Structure 1
Amino acid sequence: MTKLKVKAIALAMGSLLVAVSAHALDPRYKDADGDLVADAPTDPKDWVDPATLIFAYTPVEDPAVYAKVWDGFLQHLAQVTGKRVQFFPVQSNAAQLEAMRAGRLHVAGFNTGSNPLAVNCAGFVPFAMMASKDNRYGYEMEIITYPGSGVDKVEDIKNKKLAFTSETSNSGYKAPSALLRSQFKMEAGKDYTPVFSGKHDNSILGVANKDYPAAAIANSVKQRMEARNMVKPEQLKVIYKSQTFPTTGYGLAYNLKPELAAKIKQAFFSFNWEGSELAKEFNASEPPQEKFMPIVYKQHWQVIRDIDQAMNVSYACK
C-alpha cells in the first residue's frame, strides 16, 4: 500500500492522524539513533543475561503444534547461545506483550499488527522475518466466506457478522476495518456486526464450519492449515485480497547483554532449514518461507505504521 493510498484511507475515515513515530516509545526506552526501536542500555548493570532464554511464537494457532515445529530451531538457539531455551505457549497477543514488557520473555515472533506495539511498549527489537530463498516475503489479508453463504462480494457483508481475530492484528482487524470504512463506507456496529475469534485459525475454521458468514484473515495461515488438511480449499471462498504485508517479525528484548543479543541473531541467520520442522510447516506458504532474512523495522513496517495512523491507533502503553 502506498503512502498516498493510506492517506486516502485516513481522509475517507475522517480520522485525525496521530504521531506514531520515534516519539511513541514508552519513556522507559531511549532511541538516540532514530531507528524507532529501543536502544540497548549503556550501563552494563542494566543488561540482562538469563540462564534460560524464553521464546514465544505469535499466538496464531495451536501452541502445542508450534512447540514441535520450533523445537529444532530452539535446540540450535541453545547450542549457539550456550543457554537453556524454553518455549512459552502464549494464548493471546496481550499476554505476549506483557511477558516481554515484564522481562519474562526474551526472544519472540510478534505478528505483523502487534509489532509496533511490542516495539513501543515492550522494548521489542525486531531483526528478522521469514522469506523465500530469493528474498520474497509477506502475506495478504483476505476476506473469506463459504460457498452458499450468500456473501459473494464485500458489500454482501452488510447486516451480517464479520469475524475478526483481535484488535492488535493487522490482517485480522486493522487493515480490513480501514478498507471497509474507506472503500465500502461500512462501519462496524452499524453496517455489520463485528465478532472476535481470538486467532486466525479460529476464524478460518469458523467460516469453514459455517459458524461465521465471513472473516478477515491472513492467507499465509490459511495456506498452512490447508497444507495440514485442517480445512479444504473447497470449504472457503475468497471475496477480497489485499496488497502484500510483512509477516511475523522476530526479535529480542532490548536490554539483553550485547554479546548474547549478537549470538541470538547469529542463531537465526545460521539455522539450517533443510529437512527441518520449520521448513515442513512454513514452506507451504506462498511465497515459501525458507530462511530468516534481516529486516529494518523503520523500513519494513512503514506500511503497518501508516495503516495504524489511518486507524487512529495509539501506541500508548496501558
Structure 2
Amino acid sequence: MRVRRLGALLGALALALQPFTAAALDARYTDADGDLVADAPTDPKQWVDPATLIFAYTPVEDPAVYAKVWDGFLRHMEKVTGKKVQFFPVQSNAAQLEAMRAGRLHVAGFNTGSNPIAVNCAGFVPFAMMASLKGEYGYEMEIITYPGSGVTKPEDIRGKKMAFTSQTSNSGYKAPSALLREKFGLEPGKDYEPVFSGKHDNSVIGVANKDYPVAAIANSVMLRMLARNVVKKDQLVSIYKSQTFPTTGYGMVYNLKPELAAKVKEAFFSFDWTGSDLLKEFQSTEPPQEKFIPITYKQHWEVVRDIDKAMGISYDCKG
C-alpha cells in the first residue's frame, strides 16, 4: 500500500501536543469491540430500515456532474438492497455531517479529513475505499500556485493570501496548516492570510483564474479536473507535495438494520466497474481508482488521527 507515515513532520508536531480526545465517540454511541467506530444497536427497535436509502458523495464544485457519475452504482445498489437509492448533492462538509447525524443520510463517501468527525459525531462506519486493480490507493496534498505569481516555494507564502477548503479537510487545511507552522514557521493570520473556498474544486479553479495566489488541495481532485479539461496544466504550478494519505472513505450509518447493512456492503464489493461512469471519472487519478477495497477506520485512518492529534484537534460534537 502507498500510505506512509508522516515520520519527521509528526515527530516535530508531537513536541506541541495539546490535550486530545479525538478517539472518543459521542456519548450516543458505544464501541464494545474497540474498533473505534460505533457498534450497531443491540435493540431491534433502534435499527433503521428506510424505504429509500440516501447516498451522498463528498462536496464537489458541481454536484450535478457527480450525480451522473454515481448513477450506475446507485442503480446497482438498488438491485442488491431492494431499496430505492437517491443521490443527495451536499454543498459542504458540515451539511453532509449534519445530515447523517440527524438520520437523513444513510450511505456516504466522506473525504479524508471529515472521516474522523463523521465516525465520532455522526455514527459513520467506513468500510470501503477506491483503489487500483493492484490495491494501491491514496493521494497527496499539494500546494499550488499559478505561473508568475511570485510564489516558487512555501516560504514565499509569507505575506500572501492562501486558500484552504474547509477546516474539516485533511489536505485542504489540517495537513498544510501543520506543515507551514512546523516546517516553515508560518502562522495563519500572522504570516499569511487564510481564506476558505469551501471545496477543492473551487481552490483549483481559483488558482487557475488567479483569484488565489496559492492554495492547498488534494491532487486526486486536481488530476480529475485536468482530465476533464476543467483547468489546463499550464495554469498551475506545484510548489509542495506531501506523502500519501488515504482517500475518500465509503460507508454507512451505524444503525442500519443488520440485513440491510450487509446488502449495502455487498453492493460496493460486487459492483462491476467495467465501462462504468465511476471508472471513467476516477481512473484518471494516480494511482488509478478502479475498484472498491475493504478498509477499517482503525487501521487506514491512523495517519490522519496522528495529524489531528499533533494539531490538538478534538472531535467534540455539538448539539
The 5 A counterparts of 1:14-53 are 14-21=16-23, 24-53=24-53
Q: Does the aligned pair in 2 maintain the 1:6–1:306 contact within 8 Å?
A: no
Letter in 2 for 1:5: A
CA offsets 1:52-82 (integer angstroms, 9 cap, x no match): 0000000033110000000000000000000
The 5 A counterparts of 1:276-295 are 276-295=276-295
Equivalent-residue separation in structure 1 for 2:216 and 2:283 (angstroms): 23
The 5 A counterparts of 1:238-317 are 238-317=238-317
Q: Does the aligned pair in 1 maintain the 2:9–2:183 contact within 8 Å?
A: no
Counterpart residue number, 1:68: 68
Counterpart residue number, 1:211: 211
CA offsets 1:136-187 (integer angstroms, 9 cap, x no match): 0000000000010000111000000110000000000000000000000100
Q: Does the aligned pair in 1 maintain the 2:48–2:257 contact within 8 Å?
A: yes
TM-score normalised according to structure 2 size = 0.97
Equivalent-residue separation in structure 2 for 1:220 and 1:134 (angstroms): 18
CA offsets 1:102-145 (integer angstroms, 9 cap, x no match): 00000000000000000000000000000000000000000000
Choose from 8, 11, 18 the match for 1:5: 8
Equivalent-residue separation in structure 1 for 2:178 and 2:61 (angstroms): 25
Per the TM alignment, residue 17 of structure 1 is displaced from its structure 2 partner at its CA by: 4.7
Letter in 2 for 1:100: M
Q: Does the aligned pair in 2 maintain the 1:9–1:178 contact within 8 Å?
A: no
Q: Structure 1: which 4+ aligned runs deviate by more than 6 Å?
A: none
Per the TM alignment, residue 6 of structure 1 is displaced from its structure 2 partner at its CA by: 5.0
Letter in 1 for 2:83: K
Equivalent-residue separation in structure 2 for 1:120 and 1:243 (angstroms): 25
Equivalent-residue separation in structure 2 for 1:224 and 1:165 (angstroms): 17
Equivalent-residue separation in structure 1 for 2:7 and 2:68 (angstroms): 43
Q: Does the aligned pair in 2 maintain the 1:125–1:253 contact within 8 Å?
A: yes
Counterpart residue number, 2:112: 112
Letter in 1 for 2:18: L
The 5 A counterparts of 1:78-93 are 78-93=78-93
Letter in 2 for 1:8: G
Per the TM alignment, residue 15 of structure 1 is displaced from its structure 2 partner at its CA by: 3.6
Counterpart residue number, 1:188: 188
The 5 A counterparts of 1:108-257 are 108-257=108-257
Equivalent-residue separation in structure 2 for 1:5 and 1:120 (angstroms): 28
Equivalent-residue separation in structure 1 for 2:179 and 2:229 (angstroms): 30
Cα 1:151–1:164 shift into 2, 3 Å = same
Per the TM alignment, residue 3 of structure 1 is displaced from its structure 2 partner at its CA by: 6.6
Q: Does the aligned pair in 1 maintain the 2:143–2:216 contact within 8 Å?
A: yes
Structure 2 residue ranges without an equivalent (≥5): none
Per the TM alignment, residue 233 of structure 1 is displaced from its structure 2 partner at its CA by: 0.6
Counterpart residue number, 1:77: 77
